[in-house]
Amino acid sequence: MKDIRDYSLLRHNTFGIDVRCRRFVEFTSVGELQTVISSLAETDQPLLFIGSGSNLLFTADYPGTVLHSAIRGVELIDSDSIHQYIRCGSGETWDDIVAQCVSHGWYGAENLSLIPGEVGASAVQNIGAYGVEVKDLIVQVEAVEIETGRPVSFTNAECCYSYRKSRFKDDWKGRFIITHVTYALSKTFHPHLDYGNIRAALAARNISEPSAAELRDTIITIRQAKLPDPKVEGNAGSFFMNPVVSMQKYKELARMYPDIPHYTIDGEHEKIPAGWLIDRCGWKGRALGKAGVHDKQALVLVNKGGATGADIVYLCDTIRHDVLQKFGIEIKPEVNIL
């Protein structure tokens, strides 16, 4: 277990914001986590549980204790005629899990390839990409209750997943620390190809019926072409959530902008890419000081070198204002701003 006072969080956030916390604790087992929880003093508050920091934006030093899981392990725990069930430590890197699933012939996570972050965060955030959300794979989430230190577990339904949301982000926020997540992977490959430019990217590689490995490679290629390397330009991937609007609102916009992209949610709502809205407001490739919008994907805000969290927030707020003024749509950050 690692337990350090006055600790730099520079390596623990992909925006590359140089802030510090009063105390940093990294645990490798449920037992270590329970020991930490039982020994917390009032001066250790408030608590913050982080993964790889790929969905965080720090605007100041953190005044309390930052907890990070280093619980590893991937275990095949069950199997039936349809699924393989794997239990993963919350400190495992998510993309490593996807790679293992593809190599073993466990299907369903291919479209979630190269999403940054760790297993624990996947269950908090309900990560998703290219028409797939991790909620469709999660069976059970294990955690430790902070107040009592007791182990608890939750079913998928109990977590109340929705678009980039779960109870861990809402009414359970600050109550539990995730230790393990169990996923159900299909024994049969059913590719999801009808989102974004997946089919076009496959066609460019002369692939019409991809294998899981080919689909994963294609997703990775698409993401790498659009998203900057955090080691070069600090970023948290997609900064904004794609807004869901009423069918009436969508039709109003479609009359003014016939080329507006959209994805049908149900008979009453449409999802509109936030990146398209931001691009149409003229923000792609622009900057305000040291904070900017990526020149290949307007959904991504970047630290161009030396930006503070406040610089990124100011850019975020300015973009949100412009999108609201132009389209009458409020876009919301996907990134957790602290």
- C-alpha 315/C-alpha 338 separation (Å) is 16
How far is the CA of 70 from the CAs of 21, 52, 123, 159, 318, in angstroms? Answer: 18, 10, 16, 23, 37
What values do phi and psi take at 224, rounded to 5?
Answer: -65, -30
Residue that wins the pLDDT comparison between 226 and 142: 142
b/e map 143-171, b = 16+ CB within 10 Å: bbebeeeeeeebebeebbbeebbbbbeee
The answer to whether 48 and 91 are in contact (CB under 8 A) is no
| 246 a catalytic residue | no
> What amino acid is encoded at 177 in this protein?
I
Q: Is the pLDDT of residue 194 over 90?
A: no
- C-alpha 128/C-alpha 80 separation (Å) is 25
Distance spanning both ends of the chain, measured CA to CA: 25
In this prediction, residues 149-157 reach a mean pLDDT of 96
In this prediction, residues 225-239 reach a mean pLDDT of 87
User: What confidence tens digit (pLDDT) does each residue in 62-94 have?
Assistant: 999 999 999 999 999 999 999 999 999 999 999
According to the model, what pLDDT value does residue 301 have? 96
Residue 164 confidence class, pLDDT cut points 50, 70, 90: confident
- C-alpha 84/C-alpha 72 separation (Å) is 19
Residues in the chain: 338
Q: Which pair of tokens denotes residue 100? A: 């293992």
- C-alpha 169/C-alpha 151 separation (Å) is 19
Q: Which pair of tokens denotes residue 24? A: 């940093």
User: What confidence tens digit (pLDDT) does each residue in 272-298 have?
Assistant: 999 999 999 999 999 999 999 999 899
The label of the residue with tokens 């959530």 reads: 241
Residue 140 confidence class, pLDDT cut points 50, 70, 90: very high
Q: Which of 110, 133, 238, 320 is the catalytic position?
A: 238
Q: Which of 118, 133, 142, 334 is the catalytic position?
A: 334
| 270 a catalytic residue | no
User: What confidence tens digit (pLDDT) does each residue in 306-337 have?
Assistant: 999 999 999 999 999 999 999 999 999 999 99
The label of the residue with tokens 């999802």 reads: 271
Residue 266 confidence class, pLDDT cut points 50, 70, 90: confident
| 162 a catalytic residue | no
Q: For all residues of the chain together, what is the average pLDDT?
A: 93
The label of the residue with tokens 């997943």 reads: 161
Rounded to two decimals, the pTM is: 0.84
- With 0-12 CB in 10 A as exposed, 13-18 as middle and 19+ as buried, what is 318? middle
- C-alpha 5/C-alpha 118 separation (Å) is 24
Portion of the chain with pLDDT greater than 90, in percent: 80
Q: Is the pLDDT of residue 110 over 80?
A: yes
Task: Enumerate domains of the chain plus CATH numbers.
Answer: 2-69 (3.30.43.10), 74-186 (3.30.465.10), 234-337 (3.90.78.10)
Q: Is the pLDDT of residue 269 over 80?
A: yes
Q: Which of 164, 166, 233, 320 is the catalytic position?
A: 164
